[in-house]
Amino acid sequence: MNLLALDGAFVLEKLILIAVVISISLVVAMYATYVERKFAGFIQDRHGPNRAGPFGLLQPLADGLKLFFKEEIIPNNSNKLLFVLGPCLAMLTAMMTSAIIPWGGTVELFGQQVSLQIADINIGILYVFGVVSMGVYGMMIGGWASNNKFSLMAALRGASQAISYELAMGLSLIALLMLTGSLSLKTITEQQVTGLWNIVYQPVGFLIFFVCALAECNRAPFDLPEAESELNMGYHQEYSSMKLGFFLFAEYINMFISCAIIATLFFGGYDIPFVDESTWSGGAAAIGGVLALMTKTFILILVFMWIRWTLPRFRYDQLMNLGWKGLIPLALLNMVATGAVILLTMKQA
Amino acid sequence: MQSLTQRAKPVDRSPMTWLEKIYLWNIFKGMLITFRHFFKKRATIQYPEQKRPFSPVFRGLHILNRDEQGRENCTACGLCAVACPAEAITMEAAERLPGEEHLYREEKYAARYEINMLRCIFCGLCEEACPKDAIYLSETFAPANYSRKSFIYGKPDLLIPDPVKHPEEYAKAKGELDKKKSKP
Amino acid sequence: MSITQLLFWFLTALALGSALMVIFSKNPVHSILWLITTFFAISGHYILLNAQFLAIVNIIVYAGAIMVLFLFVVMLMNLNASATPLKKKWLRFAGVISGGCLLLVLTAALKDTDIMRQELMMKTGDIGLIHNLGTVLFKEYVLPFEISSVLFLSAMVGAVVIGKKE
């Protein structure tokens, strides 16, 4: 375990990288709320927020301030510790996934090769699944600790949705992993930099993964855990002030991270399309890579929003049917087909 | 049954084809529709800066009219109160004393004239009932307030500005009234 | 004391402590949460043994899926301390005896094995890495592996049959 042979510069480098990544994801999540509202406005022939600051750009700050100044309510009969733990867990798990995304290649800073990835672990994508499966607990603990049956039902609804779609998500990825032969996101990206993007090989896998990512992020049309209009809010019904804000904020961070993961897995990560970066100097290539990944991520976030403001919400049985009877068999078929193709091409070679 | 409009379309209840069942194409079509709305003209009116023009038949807050010399037209005959279907108007009549000729046009005037704006339905029947050209519905609406009491408008709130003392404001209010009077 | 050892003792204390809390908490939901903490501590141990794949699978499967189902059941049944009836004395006694027997058997079985005599393999083992584990599973132990997967399949079919029953 060489990781634990600690080295000052290494720790400092990683700490700075973690701080930067987390603050970037916070800012992106903050402005995702703004973009979401603007986007919704444009789709509905409105302007969206435009009062706070030029073009309403200060709106996220105003929203945050408002949440902080709201009254903090902890229900009398709730389990206080767990009630507070719920949003903390939601935030924590949302942030943790960002650790393994390769944000770019390597840069040379102060005579050291700095990789723009917090941790390149050999189980990469499985780590994401582990953390995502932990995300359920924030929801469930929060819903249960509220001591409100509607919160509890919503928490169960959300948890069972998350578990169901995690399966299809994992199965859709297995086909991709058979192609890449590696779980490390860094390796997967580097394969795409030199070769074609994975979306070319795995269009069905991408589709399944994308739908499941929508469901995992509780985005419309799968936003049943928090259907405020017809299902009496969601697991965060009893939450107020910034604790509610944390739950909602965690979802935007989740959306950002999952878009980054989709971009990494299927759209070449920090690869700039139609350009050969290998001729560039190290710094320029790294910065260009980061920008490329960010652009891809933002486009995916916009697609998430576009879908949200187009499609109506699923009914719960439709959601379960789609997950268990639609996506999982499709993912299995995709897996078998990919395996067959790999086997055939290997025999010919 | 004969359809009422040309646009009526019978519901298609035939079972979905395989392509329809996977929804993808329809989702794509729906997303194209929302995308097209992205470039459409916004329907919003930016309220405090822009205001939607009132229609000529708009009925807003009441105004008690004065004549050119600034004398109140109202004689407290009570016809508006009788006409009011919401019973929002209350008034108290008083006799004009010598020396008050410059204030009131006729011998009798309204010492108290109150309209409860929470009861008022802005139907305009008071305007039609008035024989003295004394009450009009203007083009403003009642601003929000915190207490019920503040919605009972008395004479100071209702009277048009004095043409002698405040000619500019009077002219402004008058302009709106004239526009209203000239309507068909 | 190196950092690895520090981590080892910390994780051990965490695992044992939270395992005890599983038993001693009155509220079943708290028990489950402590059990999740135990799983995390065990995953930490796996990572110390350089078995990252096992560590993460432990989290995904046990902490992420099975414990969620436990929570489902407990939350929906609304168990709490006052609702659980007091067990009879002889039942507790029988429980202690049978648990003690299991412990005895386990320790007796493990006491004389080679693994126990060895020093703990810290950061040297590589069986827990995904590649090696896959090779072993699909070469040496392919029959037991497939049999266990058939077992899982039959369990799933059984669940569906029970669920379909009118």
Instruction: Please indicate, yes or no, whether residues C65 and C32 belong to a single structural domain of this protein.
Output: yes
Render A247-312 in DSSP notation, one character per residue.
HHHHHHHHHHHHHHHHHHHHS-TTPPTT--GGGS-HHHHHHHHHHHHHHHHHHHHHHHHHHHTTSP
Instruction: Please indicate, yes or no, whether residues C20 and C99 belong to a single structural domain of this protein.
Output: yes
What are the tens digits of pLDDT across the range A230-265? Answer: 777 778 888 888 888 888 888 899 999 999 999 988
Cβ atoms within 10 Å, residue B7 = 6
Tell me which residue in C3, C64, C122 faces A133 most closely, judged by beta carbons.
Answer: C64
Dihedrals phi, psi of B111, to nearest 5 degrees: -75, -35
Q: Which residue of A has its CA nearest to B37?
A: A43
Q: Report residue B50 as tokens.
A: 């822009």
Q: Which residue has the higher pLDDT, A1 or A112?
A: A112
For residue B159, what is the DSSP state? Answer: B
Domain boundaries of chain B, sorted by first residue: 62-181
Q: Is the pLDDT of residue A156 over 70?
A: yes
pLDDT bin (cut points 50, 70, 90) of residue A1 is very low
Cβ atoms within 10 Å, residue A143 = 30
At residue C80, the pLDDT reads 58
Give residues with Cβ within 8 angstroms of A285, minimum separation 6: A105, A277, A278
Q: Which residue of C has its CA nearest to A133?
A: C64
Render chain C in DSSP notation, one character per residue.
--HHHHHHHHHHHHHHHHHHHHHH-SSHHHHHHHHHHHHHHHHHHHHHTT-HHHHHHIIIIIIIIIHHHHHHHHHHHT--TTTSPPPPHHHHHHHHHHHHHHHHHHHHHHHTSHHHHSPP--S---TTSHHHHHHHHHHTTHHHHHHHHHHHHHHHHHHHHHHH--
For residue B115, what is the DSSP state? Answer: E
Cα separation, C92 vs C90, in Å, equals: 5
Q: Cβ of A310 and B41 within 8 Å? A: no
- Rama region for B122: left / alpha / beta (φ>0; ψ in -120 to 50; rest): left
Dihedrals phi, psi of A96, to nearest 5 degrees: -65, -30
Instruction: Please indicate, yes or no, whether residues C81 and C109 belong to a single structural domain of this protein.
Output: yes
Burial class (CB in 10 A: 0-12, 13-18, 19+), A266: buried
Instruction: Please indicate, yes or no, whether residues C145 and C160 belong to a single structural domain of this protein.
Output: yes
Q: Report residue A274 as tokens.
A: 């139609």
Tell me which residue in B31, B41, B43 faces A310 most closely, judged by beta carbons.
Answer: B31
Structurally, chain C folds into a number of domains equal to 2
At residue C148, the pLDDT reads 92
Q: Domain limits at C164?
A: 129-166
Cα separation, A312 vs A240, in Å, equals: 27
Q: Report residue B108 as tokens.
A: 């009798």
Residues of chain C with pLDDT under 50: none
Tell me which residue in C48, C52, C63 faces A121 most closely, judged by beta carbons.
Answer: C52
Question: B32 and A307 in contact (C-beta within 8 Å)?
Answer: no
Q: Cβ of C3 and A4 within 8 Å? A: yes
Instruction: Please indicate, yes or no, whether residues C151 and C78 belong to a single structural domain of this protein.
Output: no
Dihedrals phi, psi of C49, to nearest 5 degrees: -85, 10
Of A240, A220, A252, nearest to A27 by C-alpha is: A252
Give residues with Cβ within 8 angstroms of A42, minimum separation 6: A48, B37, B38
At residue A3, the pLDDT reads 47
Average pLDDT score, chain A: 84
Question: A267 and A197 in contact (C-beta within 8 Å)?
Answer: yes
List Cα–Cα distances, C137 to A126, C132, C133, C146, C166, in angstroms: 19, 8, 6, 10, 40
> Which residues in chain A are contacts of C133 at CB distance < 8 A?
none
Q: Report residue C145 as tokens.
A: 């592996």
Q: Cβ of A45 and B40 within 8 Å? A: yes
Whether A126 has its CB under 8 Å from any CB of chain B: the answer is no
Render A153-170 in DSSP notation, one character per residue.
HHHHHHHHHHHHHHHHHH
Cα separation, A331 vs A165, in Å, equals: 11
At residue A123, the pLDDT reads 79
Instruction: Please indicate, yes or no, whether residues C120 and C133 belong to a single structural domain of this protein.
Output: no
Instruction: Please indicate, yes or no, whether residues C115 and C133 belong to a single structural domain of this protein.
Output: no
Residue the block writes with tokens 């205001």: B51
Instruction: Please indicate, yes or no, whether residues C15 and C54 belong to a single structural domain of this protein.
Output: yes
CA distance B32 to chain A (A): 9
The continuous run of DSSP H or E covering B179 comes out as helix B167-181
Fold of B62-181: Alpha-Beta Plaits (3.30.70)
Range list of H helices, A44-148 = 59-69, 80-96, 124-145
Range in A14-23, A285-294, B23-32, B161-170 with the lowest mean pLDDT: B161-170
Question: With a CB-CB cutoff of 8 Å, which residues 82-141 of chain C face chain A?
Answer: 122-123, 129-130
Pairing type for strands B152-153 and B108-116 reads antiparallel
Q: Report residue B25 as tokens.
A: 């194409």
Mean pLDDT of successive 10-residue stretches along chain B, which has 184 residues: 76 82 84 89 85 83 86 90 92 88 88 91 90 85 85 88 78 68 55
Mean pLDDT, rounded, for A92-121: 78
> Which residues in chain A are contacts of B38 at CB distance < 8 A?
42-43
What are the tens digits of pLDDT across the range A29-57? Answer: 889 999 999 988 999 988 888 888 888 88
- Residues facing B115 on adjacent strands: B89, B153
Instruction: Please indicate, yes or no, whether residues C138 and C121 belong to a single structural domain of this protein.
Output: no
Helices A8-43 & A59-69 angle (0-180, nearest 10): 100
At residue A303, the pLDDT reads 92
Residue the block writes with tokens 């646009």: B7
Q: Cβ of B38 and A43 within 8 Å? A: yes
pLDDT bin (cut points 50, 70, 90) of residue A6 is low
